[in-house]
């Protein structure tokens, strides 16, 4: 990606020379992109929308611009204002078995993808993955959401939308202004005139767009069991697996850290734990929250140290949120017409149950699989059952000891022709054996509960099959 970043954003003689042979391909791409949009705009290709408003957060440039942080911030704000939003994602580099696919609360990013996993964790809102966004939007509507926010998808014209938000990187903007592959543009510059709102990350307020700043929220160890602290002015290694690592490096420097080494894993890239350990030997490693979600549970399992996570939050103006909410409310008539048209075509909204429990699909063959909280709970139940079993065994041993004592006491009582000691011993035997029997029953119940917790077919998410 660094090659294209230099090609698209650097104003050097070498980049200009390299752009020349790619310009004919960019012209072809421009014609195809314009024709495709025209087909949808003029009704030659069908647009389908759900029966709830749709807010698309996307961009006209390739690479990272800050769409996911804005998506998270907007969903949180909508919830605070009384909406019940859901998020739709294409699930880039996800590995779901079928679609549409709900994202559980604690999930394996290898299966569900980096962004959907992060959005689900940060917002607690329903998140659905489906490359066919029209189908995924209907599925989300069935979950009972009253507004859908899509993470990317500005060019997915098959999905009818009500609000379009375009995000630009303030430090790079439109690059050299060419379309792919000679430049970073997915669509021509005029597309910016047709969107409802433009958000520019890392910029100050300016007429025509809304500024957005990524503000550091916290710095914490990747291994949450650790109590390590990384002080400002520390020399660090910046680890990045995002589309625009330069912005992350600058944020670290603005926080006062001295970036002595950089490791770019590529957009959505991941490395082995051994590689992370090796990087952390020389300098403390600091990564983004989007990267951390891929490694956190393995880091805790292997007790990794000297690796930290920089959490950031998108800071947007109240005017931006007001603008989006007003446009959502203004879309009510359009959404009602859309519903009426689809119902006339035979559409019926299918109710879907939201999966709130954590992911039961973690499998040994997945690299960096999530050690799910369900398994942790079952392990805790297993430990409790083992403790009960040990207690029961101990009680049984005591009962056997009492048997010996009782037998001797009974013989002594018989020889002395005394009946009271024998009665007391029999009573003691009954009490101890009853306790042992009760504890054994409790252990059996705990074992059955543990077995049920380890595999509950009804808890499997939609579109996923358990791998035995």
Residues annotated within a binding site for ATP:
61-68
Smallest Cα–Cα separation from 152: which of 161, 142, 143, 139? 161
d(CA 181, CA 26): 6
Which residue reads 């290709």 in tokens? 45
Prior bond of 181 cis (ω within 30°): yes
d(CA 138, CA 285): 42
Q: Give the helix ranges, DSSP H, for 125-176.
A: 133-142
Residue 352 structure tokens: 């879907």
Query: H or E segment at 98?
Result: none
Helical packing angle, 67-80 and 318-330, nearest 10°: 70
Strand partners, 315: 213
Q: How far is CA 231 from the centre of its chain?
A: 28
d(CA 135, CA 116): 17
d(CA 397, CA 386): 16
Which residue reads 């950089």 in tokens? 262
Which residue reads 């595999």 in tokens? 455
What are the backbone dihedrals phi and psi of residue 426, each rounded to the nearest 5 degrees, phi first?
-60, -40
CB 331 within 8 A of CB 163: yes
Give rounded-to-5 percent helix, strand, coil for the chain: 45, 15, 35
Query: H or E segment at 402?
Result: helix 373-416
Which residue reads 């992350």 in tokens? 248
Binding residue positions: 61-68
Smallest Cα–Cα separation from 447: which of 380, 392, 394, 385? 385
Query: H or E segment at 220?
Result: strand 210-221
d(CA 334, CA 328): 10
């Amino acid at each position: 990606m660094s090659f294209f970043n230099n090609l698209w954003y650097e104003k050097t003689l070498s980049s200009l020379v390299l752009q020349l042979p790619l310009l004919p391909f960019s012209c072809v791409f421009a014609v195809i992109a314009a024709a495709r949009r025209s087909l949808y705009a003029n009704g030659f290709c069908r647009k389908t929308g759900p029966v709830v408003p749709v807010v698309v957060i996307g961009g006209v440039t390739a690479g990272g611009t800050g769409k996911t942080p804005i998506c998270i911030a907007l969903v949180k704000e909508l919830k605070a204002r009384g909406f019940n939003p859901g998020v739709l994602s294409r699930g880039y580099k996800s590995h779901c078995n079928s679609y549409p696919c709900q994202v559980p609360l604690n999930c394996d990013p290898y299966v569900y993808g980096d962004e959907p996993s992060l959005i689900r964790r940060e917002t607690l809102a329903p998140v659905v993955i489906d490359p066919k966004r029209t189908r995924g939007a209907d599925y989300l509507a069935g979950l009972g959401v009253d507004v859908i926010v899509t993470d990317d998808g500005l060019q997915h014209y098959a999905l009818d939308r009500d609000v379009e938000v375009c995000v630009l990187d303030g430090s790079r903007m439109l690059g050299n202004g060419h379309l792919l592959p000679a430049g970073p543009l997915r669509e021509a510059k005029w597309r910016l005139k047709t969107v409802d709102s433009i958000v520019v990350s890392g910029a100050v307020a300016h007429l025509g767009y809304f500024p957005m700043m990524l503000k550091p929220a916290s710095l914490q160890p990747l291994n949450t069991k650790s109590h390590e602290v990384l002080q400002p002015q520390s020399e660090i290694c910046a680890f990045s697996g995002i589309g625009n690592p330069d912005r992350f490096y600058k944020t670290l420097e603005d926080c006062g850290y001295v970036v002595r080494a950089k490791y770019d894993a590529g957009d959505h890239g991941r490395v082995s734990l051994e590689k992370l350990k090796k990087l952390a030997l020389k300098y403390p490693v600091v990564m983004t929250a989007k990267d951390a979600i891929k490694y956190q549970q393995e880091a805790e399992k292997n007790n990794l140290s000297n690796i930290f996570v920089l959490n950031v939050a998108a800071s947007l103006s109240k005017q931006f949120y007001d603008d989006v909410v007003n446009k959502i409310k203004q879309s009510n008539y359009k959404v009602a017409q859309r519903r009426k048209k689809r119902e006339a075509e035979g559409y019926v909204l299918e109710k879907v149950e939201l999966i709130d429990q954590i992911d039961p699909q973690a499998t040994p063959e997945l690299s960096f699989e999530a050690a799910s909280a369900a398994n942790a709970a079952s392990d805790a139940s297993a430990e409790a059952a083992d403790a009960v079993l040990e207690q029961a065994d101990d009680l049984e041993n005591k009962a056997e000891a009492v048997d010996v004592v009782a037998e001797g006491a009974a013989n002594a009582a018989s020889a002395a022709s005394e009946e009271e000691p024998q009665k007391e011993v029999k009573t003691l035997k009954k009490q101890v054996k009853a306790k042992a029997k009760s504890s054994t029953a409790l252990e059996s119940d705990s074992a059955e509960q543990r077995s049920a917790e380890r595999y509950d077919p009804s808890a499997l998410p939609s579109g996923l099959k358990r791998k035995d």
